[in-house]
Structure 1
Amino acid sequence: MKQLNSGKNKELDDYCHYLRGNSFRHLKLFQEAKKELNLVTKNFVYYPLVNKVLGESSSELKEFKKAIYYFNEVEKWPNLDNQGIKIGGIYIDLGVCYLHLNQFEKAEKYLLKSKYLLEKENNKESLFLLYTNIANLYYIQFKDKQAIPYFEKGYSLSNKINRFDLKYRASKNMSVVEENRGDFKQAIVYRKESEQWKDSLNDQNKVWAVADFEKKFAVAQKQKQIKVLEVENRLKNSQRNWLFFSAISLLLLLTAGIYFYAQKVKNAKIILLQKNKLDELNATKDQLFSIVSHDLRSSVNALKTSNAKLSATLETKNYDELNQLIIQNSGIANGAYSLLDNLLHWALLQTKQLYFHKESVHLFSIVQQIEYNYKSLLLEKSITFENSVSRNIFIFVDLDSLKIVLRNLLDNAIKFSNENGKISFYSVETHTDFCQLVLEDTGLGMSVNTINELLADNELLAKKSNSEIIGTGLGMQLCKQMIKKNDGTLAIESEVNKGTKMILSFPKTNQNG
C-alpha cells in the first residue's frame, strides 16, 4: 500500500495490484479481488496470471460467462509454462464453467482434453477432481454407464491421497452410485466410510481452528507489544525532539545575543570614530573661523587706519602719498574679498551645494581671462606675465571651479613673488588623455616639508616653522578638492628662493584625442 500510494513506479504498482488481488481471492473476497486485478495494466509481464485469477474469482461468483472469457484469454497466450500456468488446469476450469452453463458438449471437449494431459503428468489430486467433474457431467445427463467408471477411478485415487475432504467426497459419490444401482448394502458401507472421513475432516478443521485461534492470539499479543513499543518510541522521539529544539532555541538565542552584542560594539566603534572625526572637524572649523575672523579683523583694521591716513593726507593735499594709500586700500579690500570668496566656496563644497557642470573649455582663453582679472596686481609689483598655453587644447572640466583654482594659484604666485619677477602659464603635451597645465613663478619658493604639508590629504592649516599661523590654508584646500572633483591631479616642484611650479593635469575633451 505504501508503494501504491507513492505512485512512483508503474511497473511495481502492477505487481502490487496483482499480489493484493490474489490475496483477496484466497480470502474469498472475490469482488475486491476483481476490482484490484482490473487496475493492473495490460503491459504487465504476468498478465495471463491476472486473467487466470479473474476467471477463478468470476467462477466463484457464479459469473461463468465472464470466467470463460478470462480463461479463453489465458488459453490464447503462448508459452504458458513460463508464466507458471498448466494448460490442463485451464481446460478443467473451462470445462467446469461450461458444465454449469449446461453446455455439455463444450464441457466434455475441455474436460477430456484436460484428461489427456493430466494422465501424463500423474497429478493425483488434479486427476481426482477431473474424474469427479467428468463423472458429474455424464451423471446429470443420465449417462450412468459412462459416469460410474469415473466415480470408481476417483474413489480409487482418493485412497492414495491424504486429503480428508477428497476421501469424504469420493466415498459419498460411491454411496450414491450404489444406491442408484440398488445395492443398498454396499451403499451403507460407503456411507459409513464417508461419515468417518467427515468426522476426521471435522476433527482436522477443529485442530486447524484451534491452531488458527492460537496464531491469531499470538499475533494480537505481538501487535500489543508493537503498540507499546510504538508509544515508547513516540515518547522517546518527543523527548529527543524537545531536547533538539531546546538546543536549537538556545543556540539561536546565543547567536542572536552574540550578533546584537557585536552590532552594539560595532556601532559603539562607529560612533566613537564619528565623534573623533566630528571633534577634529569642529577643531578645524573653530581654528578656521578664528583665523578668518582674525584676518578679516586685521584687514578691516588696516583699512580703517589707512582711511584715517587718507583723510589726513587729503587735508595736506599730498597727492603722491594719497595715491599710495588708495593703492594700499585696494590691495587690502581685494585680499579680504578673496578670503570671503574662498570661504563661501569652501562652505558650499563641504555641504555639497556647489553645482558642477563639466563641459569642453578652451584653456588658453581661460588663462587669458585670469590674467586680465589680476592685471592691476601684476602691474603694482611690476611682474611679467606670460601665457604660453597651446591654443589647440580643450579640456573637459567645470568652468567655474577651474577659474577658482587658477585665481587662487595665481593670487598665491603674485603674493610670494618679488617685484620685477615673472609668472608663466604653459601647457605640456603628454600624448595621453590628460593635459598638463604648469603655473611657474620666480618667487620665494618652498621647502620639501612645506610641499608635503600642502599636498597632504587633511584639513590642517598652513604654518610657519615657528608655528605662527600666516594663513588659513583654505585656498589650497579648496583648490585640491576642486581639482579632484574635475578628475584632475596636482603636483608641486619648488626650491627655496628659486621659484615654484604648480603642475595641474585635467582630462582632455574627446575630440582632442
Structure 2
Amino acid sequence: MKYSFKLLLLFSFLANFLFVFSQNIENTTIFEEEIKNRSSQFMDEPNFKKAQLFFLEKNWDSTLVYTMRQLSLPNQNQEIKNYCHLFRGFSLKEKKIFNQSQKELSKISKEFIFYYKVRIKLGEITLEQKEFKQAIHYFKEIEELNDNQLLGIKKSFVKHNLGLCYLHLEEFDKAEFYLLESVKLQEEQKDTLDLIGSYGDIATLYYEQYKDDLAIPYFEKAYDLSKKINNHQLKQNTALNMAVVEENRKNFPKALVYRKEFEQWKDSLNDQNKVWEVAQLEKQFAVKEKQKEVSLLQAENKIKIAERNGLFYSAIVLLLLLGTAIYFYREKIKTNKIILAQKESLDELNATKDKLFSIVSHDLRSSVNAMKTSNAKLLENLETKNLEELDALLHQNSAIANGTYNLLDNLLHWALLQTKQSYFEIVSMRLYFIVEQMAYNYQPLMLEKKIQFENTVSKKDIIFADQESLKIILRNFLDNAIKFSKENGIIKIYSENNDENYCDLIIEDNGLGMSENTRENLLKETTLLSKKENEKTIGTGLGMQLCKSMIQKNNGKLDIKSKLGKGTKIIVSLSKKEPNG
C-alpha cells in the first residue's frame, strides 16, 4: 500500500508543475503588454530598446547581452536599472541559472511597478530549488494584496503555491487550508486546468496522511475534469492515478482500463514530441546547409581575389607570379580532393538513405493498410456485435500501432546516431536496476500475452555504458522477445560473468526462434537493413542495426543463439571497466 502512495504522489507532483506552468502562460500576454507600455519612455536608449525587444521575443541570450551593455553605462536612471535587472532575472530563470536569477531580481527596488511580480518569480525559483520556507516568505508578502496591486496575478495561484510549500514541509493542516482556499477561488473563476492540478494536490495531501477515503474523490474529480480539456499530459497523469487507485482497491479489470487509457495518452504525447524533434532536426539541417553555401561562396570569393592580385603583381615580379600560380594550383588540387571525398561520402549516405526510406515506407504502408483492413472488419463486427472478434481485432490494432511506433522511434534514434547529434556519456551503473526499469514498462504487454517474466540479473554487477543507449538496446530486444513469444511463454533476463573484462547480459525466450541463416545474417557487420521473415510483424531490421551500432559504441559485443521453433538467446557483453581504465 505504501508503494502505491508514493507512486500517486509522484504523478500528482508532475501535475502540479504543469499547473504552475499553465498559469504563467495565461498571464504572459498581460505582463508583456504592461512591460511594453510602461517601458516605452526609455526607448531612446539603443541598448535598452534592443534588450526589451529580445526579452519580448524570448531571446534570452541576446537579452542578457544588451542589458549588460545598458547597465555598464554611467549615471543610469534607477527605473532603467530596475527593468534591466527584471529582464536579466527572468532570462536567467528560463535558462535554469537560478542563483544568478535570484541575485538579479534581488537588486530591484521596492518602488518598482513590477515589484510584486518579482516577488512571485523569486517564490517560484525557491520553490523549484526546494527552499520551501523561503518560498513561503515571498508568497506571504503578496497574500493579502488587492487585484490592482497584483497586476494580473491570480490570488488562487498565490494560495496554491503556499499550499504546495506546506505540503512539502509536511505541515498538513496549513497545506489543507491553502489548497482548499485555492480550489474555492478556482471553482468561482472556472479555471479548469488549475482545478485539475489542485484536485491532484489535495488528493496527494490526503494520501500522504493515509486518508484514502478523502483522497480518492479528488483523484476522481481531477480525472473527470481532464475529460473536458485538450491537454494530453494532464489526461495521462489523471488516468495513471486512477489506475493505481483501482489497483489499491483490488479492482484489477478497471485498473487495466485506466492503464490502457494512460498508455494511449502517453503514445499520443510521445507522437507530438517526435514530430517536434523531427521538425527541429530538419530546421538544424537547413541551417547547416545554408552555412555551407555561405562558406563555399566566401571561399570562392577569396580565391578570385587572390587570383586577381596575383595577376596584378605578375607584371612586376615574374618569380612572384610563378610562386603564386604554384600555390593556387596546389590549393585547387587539395580542394578537389576534399570535394571528391565529400561526394563519395555523400553518395554512400544517399544509398543508405534510399534503402532505409524504401524499406521503412514499405513497412509503414503495410501497417497502415493492415490497420485500414482491420478497422473495416471492426466496423462489420460492431454491427453484428461479435464480441470475440472485436476483442481480437482491437488487440491486432494495438500490436500494429505499437510496432509502427517502435519503428518510428528507432528511425529517429538511427538518424541522431548517423548525424552524430545524440548525447553519449559512459558512466558506471548497476545492471539490475536498468533491466528492472525497462521490464516495468513492458509489464502490460507481457500480462496481455500471459508471459512469465524473470529478472535474475545479479544486483552486484556493475558495468560501464551510456544509460540512454543501453535502455534503447534493452527496449528493442525485450520488445522482440515479447513479439516472437507465444501466449503463456517465458522470458528470462540474467547475467553471467565468464570474462574479467565483460559482463554478459542474456535475454532468453522460448518463442519462435530463427534459422541459422537468419542468425548469421543478423550478426554480419556488412548487413545494413533486412526484411523480416515473418510478414505478420512490423520491422525493418533497423532496430537490430541500431542496437549493434550502440553496443559497439558502448565498447560491447553481441552474440545470438537460436533454434527455429525453440526460442532465442540474445547475449550482450558489456564492459566492466572504464573506457580509459
Alignment TM-score > 0.5, same fold: no
TM-score w.r.t. structure 2 length?
A: 0.40
Which structure has the greater CA radius of gyration? 1
Bigger RCO (CA 8 Å, 6+ sep):
2
Return the TM-score normalized by structure 1: 0.44
